[in-house]
Structure 1
Amino acid sequence: MSYNIAMVSDFFFPQPGGVESHIYQVSSKLVDRGHKVVIITHSYGDRTGVRYLANGIKVYYVPFWVVYRESALPTVFSFFPILRQIVLRERIDIVHGHGSLSAFCQEGLLHAKTMGLKTCFTDHSLFGFADAASILTNKLLKFTLSDVDHVICVSHTCKENTVLRAALDPFTVSAIPNALVSKDFRPADVPPPTSTITIVVISRLFPNKGCDLLVATIPRICAQHENVRFIIGGSGPKAIDLEQMIEKNVLQDRVEMLGPIRHEDVRNVMIRGQIYLHASLTEAFGTVIVEAASCGLYVVCTQVGGIPEVLPGEMTVFAKPEEDDLVAATSRAIHAIKSGTVQPEMFHDRIRQMYSWTDVAERTEKVYDGIMRLRSSRLIDRLKRYYGCGVWAGKLFVLCAVIDYLLMMFLEFWWPRRNIDVARDWPRKRVVRKESPSQTDAEGHEERDGWISDIQDQE
């Protein structure tokens, strides 16, 4: 059975990042499996309106104010009219939100449930429980997820964190990891010489990515190892700290700052080195370390969040998120590369077998199958769940849900759905399971990975 799916998030291309890549890759593979996918995000500069990506994926860039780190201004209700227009035009069955800090995601899930649609949420991050920002985020997440049909997390650590933050039933939460397109992250044809060890860092330069650790450890590593140099790619507010560190320690000839890097250029940067250094202080999965290992780099990473679940021990050197331990772990990796005790160029084949976006899409599709069998919630049942979210917060959440329902009634009166044009679907792939795979079937349709696919118009 095929579904019409709307992926909703503040975070999407042209901004680079793990969430953005995840949404695109999963959407592309779901289209390959015969589903229709549209993506709803806010505008990026002059990129507004409707755009088409490869495979017929339609992207709605909604003009909205952006307040912080590409997150739209939370308004609760003003997003509803345009979301309703898109959902009805595209005949959406499932609204799938991405990102705890995405206002579009949180509001989209609320409005989708008000319209009686099935909903799913994917959490890509870890949050604490003590600071004010985390407390507020967790309370809002508890409100949104108390009425979501299913939740997906990118690691088991992320699942445990989300279950605790949002007070969820663990049976309604699945762990489906990220993946990568392995052919786009191949090792260098000629490995770089080990006479000079190059350590690569590609990251958003924010405090949670461990930039302060990098500022402290890079001079010490350079002092201990004369033949080591660094390549740092990425942008963010901590870039100035790294530049000051280079100036203070006179490391201009040993530390190269590349600035922001497009995703398609990541492999070209990684194959210049032998070691990848990941100093993050919190991480739900860490797709970039999988990409680094696939490119044939030995990975040094902090033992935090879901990172220990990502790669086998022989591909990584783990360190505590502390200066001394990170320096020691990096030194062990340098000695291992020099002595030849590890052969990172052999990692690519294992990574290709471990991570596949096709597998992620298949598992996501099973989640969709499950939530489509669920009975739709009545308004009174939704209000009961919201009311249980807290003594004072519960009453506020109930008020929001009631206003949202009244707003939907007004929109149905002011702009009836019969007056909204239905968009014509992109020609969709029909996918049929084959019992005995072969290159082509009797009619000449292409066969890929045990599936037959052809193109047909759906009227």
Structure 2
Amino acid sequence: MKEVKRIAYLVRPTEGGIRAHVLALLSQIDRSRFEPVLICPPTVSLFHEAEKIGIQVLPLDIVGEINPRRDFRCVVQLRRILKRIRPNIFHMHSAKAGLIGRIATFGISPRPRLVLTEHVFIFDERTGRLKRVMMALTERLLARATDRIVTVSEALRHELLVEMGINPRKVITIHNGIIFQPLVHVAKPGKLVGTVSRLAPQKGVDHFLRAAALVCKRVPGTRFVIIGDGPYRTQLESLANSLGISERVEFMGYRTDAIGMVRTFDVFVLASTRESFGLTLVEALSQQIPVVASRTGGITEIVDGETTGLLAEPGNAEDMADNICRLLEDPALAASLAARGCDFVRSQFSAERMAQETQNMYEELLS
């Protein structure tokens, strides 16, 4: 009988795409071949969700931001855990988990195979040159001790190779995958355009609101919904008021039933100015909701601008409004794009496919 290999997963505090990715992976992993152990903060929902599906979960006081004192204690605690459970593979998710995790494994014997999955772009327009150089140098050094680095899109892989200078033989792309909900058609309550997004500057919700103001003039009666929360909410609510559309826009905050709300949309919009993948696009398209998204990052690996959805230039509210109106005013086009988009994402971005590619990587590393 073949030996079951233990895979330890390290996750920092997260409630967004990383949480969904890890939970989907854990739910699909073949437990006749691999024994998953999740290491994460006990305060996040992933801790309890993983327990519910029978995953062994170990608590770790890891924080999202750089905090030297707490990070040092975390490294010490993590080393004790790894020495006790002795995983065959140690799979870290996100740059912060990768930093803590790889430092913690120095000198451990036997050393597990190290895998890091990067979920988001490392740099943005606010990252200064000196910080870029230091971050790139640190990652190149840590990459030497890493057996495989996984990116969730080709766009993110390109950043690691070109801007970080990582050895291309170590970096592979395994696209994100989701556990698809049943395709359900619901009655549409008038013309409704919405987005699901963290309310942070790079998500471009301010551009969505400016586009909404333009759509209101061309397609009277259209309403808008924003699902999600974040540090930018107060500013966005003020912007909606200054644009004169506050009565047309509903800020719904974080919702556990977001997919049910998305089913009522006539158009789904993702206005990010920088996006490594775009998991919410996959979720919307999987419900045959036509989409308009920014032509940036990993989004173009989901939406091609012609057959699976429409693309607008990042930060261009006029272009985004034109595309939203095009779908609202042409139901046949909207239905065609939604149907083809649904077929595409359900064939390409399933959790089963993601898990199989990940397990193939594990087998290769252990051979």
Q: C-alpha displacement at 1:223, in angstroms?
A: 2.0
2:221 pairs with 1:199:
no
* Residue 24 of structure 2: aligned partner: 25
Q: Kindly tell me: are residues 227 and 48 of structure 1, through their superposed partners in 2, closer, same or farther at Cα, counting changes over 3 Å?
A: closer
Partner residue of 1:9? 11
Match of 1:267 in 2: 259
Aligned to 2:103: 110
Q: CA deviation at 1:338?
A: 6.8
Structure 1 range deviating more: 343-352 or 31-40:
343-352
2:207 is aligned to 213
Shift of residue 39 of structure 1? 1.5
Give the structure 2 partner of residue 98 of structure 1.
93
Displacement of 1:72 in angstroms is: 6.0
Aligned residue type for 1:120: V
CA contact (8 A) 1:42 1:62 kept: yes
Query: Counterparts of 2:350 and 2:295 in 1: how far apart (Å)?
Result: 24
CA contact (8 A) 1:93 1:117 kept: yes
Shift of 1:80: 2.9
CA contact (8 A) 1:48 1:63 kept: no
Is the partner of 2:307 in helix, strand or coil? helix
2:272 is aligned, of 252, 277, 280, to 280
Aligned-partner Cα distance in 2 for 1:349–1:32: 29
**What aligned pairs does 1:146-185 form with structure 2 within 5 A after superposition?**
146-182=144-180, 184=181
User: Which amino acid in structure 1 is aligned with residue 36 of structure 2?
Assistant: V
Indicate conservation of the 8 Å contact 1:50/1:58, yes or no.
Answer: no
Shift of 1:54: 3.1
- Paired residue secondary structure (2:188): coil
Letter in 2 for 1:271: R
Report the Cα distance in structure 1 between the residues aligned to 2:205 and 2:341, rounded to whole angstroms: 27
1:329-340 aligned at under 5 Å gives the runs 329-337=323-331
Rounded to whole Å, the distance in 2 between the matches of 1:30 and 1:200 is 33
Contact 2:308 2:337 in 1 (8 A): no
Number of the residue aligned with 2:312: 319
> Which residue type is aligned with residue 167 of structure 2?
D
What letter matches 2:100 in structure 1? Answer: E
DSSP 3-state at the match of 2:105? helix
Q: Is the 8 A contact 2:290 2:334 kept in 1?
A: no
| Rounded Cα–Cα distance in structure 2 between residues aligned with 1:372 and 1:225 | 58
The Cα of 1:291 is off from its aligned counterpart by 0.3
CA distance in 1, matches of 2:251, 2:237: 8
Q: CA, structure 1 residues 363+282, in 2 after alignment: closer, same or farther (shift >3 Å)?
A: same
Deviations 1:324-344 (A, max 9, x none): 222222222222337766362
Rounded Cα–Cα distance in structure 1 between residues aligned with 2:225 and 2:50: 35
- Residue from 299, 303, 310 that aligns with 2:295: 303
- Deviation per residue, 1:135-155 (Å, 9 max, x gap): 443333223222201111111
Specify the code of the residue in structure 1 equivalent to 2:29. Answer: L
Distance 1:318 1:63 in 2: 41
Could you say what the CA RMSD is over the residues aligned between the two structures, in angstroms? 2.6
Q: Is the alpha carbon distance of 1:27 and 1:82 closer, same or farther for their aligned partners in structure 2, counting shifts above 3 Å?
A: same
Distance 1:356 1:113 in 2: 35
| Counterpart secondary structure, 2:292 | strand
Of 362, 371, 381, the match for 2:365:
371
Q: What is the DSSP-based 3-state SS (H/G/I as helix, E as strand, rest coil) of the residue aligned with 1:240?
A: helix
Query: Aligned match of 1:126 in 101, 121, 144?
Result: 121
Distance 1:215 1:253, change over 3 A: closer
The CA distance in 1 between the partners of 2:9 and 2:74, in whole Å, is: 15
The alpha-carbon deviation at position 248 of structure 1 amounts to 2.7
Matched residues in 2 for 1:26 and 1:286: separation?
A: 17
Counterpart residue number, 1:39: 38
Aligned to 1:391: none
Partner of 1:446: none
Partner deviation per Cα, 1:403-445 (whole Å, 9 max, x = no partner): xxxxxxxxxxxxxxxxxxxxxxxxxxxxxxxxxxxxxxxxxxx
Kept in 2, the 8 Å contact 1:153–1:174? The answer is yes
TM-score in terms of structure 2 length: 0.88
Q: d(CA) in 1 for partners of 2:334 and 2:251?
A: 28
Task: Map Cα deviations across residues 21-49 of structure 1 (whole Å, 9 max, x no partner).
Answer: 1111112212445311112123428x899
Q: Cα–Cα, structure 1 residues 136 and 221, in superposed 2: closer, same or farther, change >3 Å? A: farther
Give SS of 2:150's match: strand
Letter in 2 for 1:268: G
- From the superposition, tell whether residues 339 and 175 of structure 1 become closer, same or farther in structure 2 (CA, over 3 Å): closer
1:181-260 maps to which residues of 2 (within 5 A)?
A: 181-182=179-180, 184=181, 186-188=183-185, 190-192=186-188, 196-260=190-254
**What displacement does 1:8 show?**
0.9
* Stretch of structure 1 that moved more, 24-33 or 265-274: 24-33
Partner Cα distance (2:11, 2:46) in 1 = 15
Equivalent AA in structure 2 for residue 128 of structure 1: F
2:282 to 286, 290, 315: 290
Is contact 2:23-2:46 (8 Å) kept? no
Aligned length: 357
Runs of at least 5 residues in structure 1 that lack an aligned partner in the other structure: 374-459
Q: Which residue of 1 aligns with 2:139?
A: 141
Q: Secondary structure at the match of 2:82?
A: helix
SS at match of 1:109: helix
The answer to whether residue 338 in structure 2 is matched with residue 344 in structure 1 is yes
Secondary structure of the equivalent of 1:63? coil
| Aligned equivalents of 2:263, 2:280: Cα separation in 1 | 13
C-alpha spacing 1:56/1:74, structure 2 compared with 1 (3 Å): farther
Contact 2:151 2:171 in 1 (8 A): yes
- Larger Rg over CA atoms: 1
C-alpha distance in 1 between matches for 2:205 and 2:325: 19
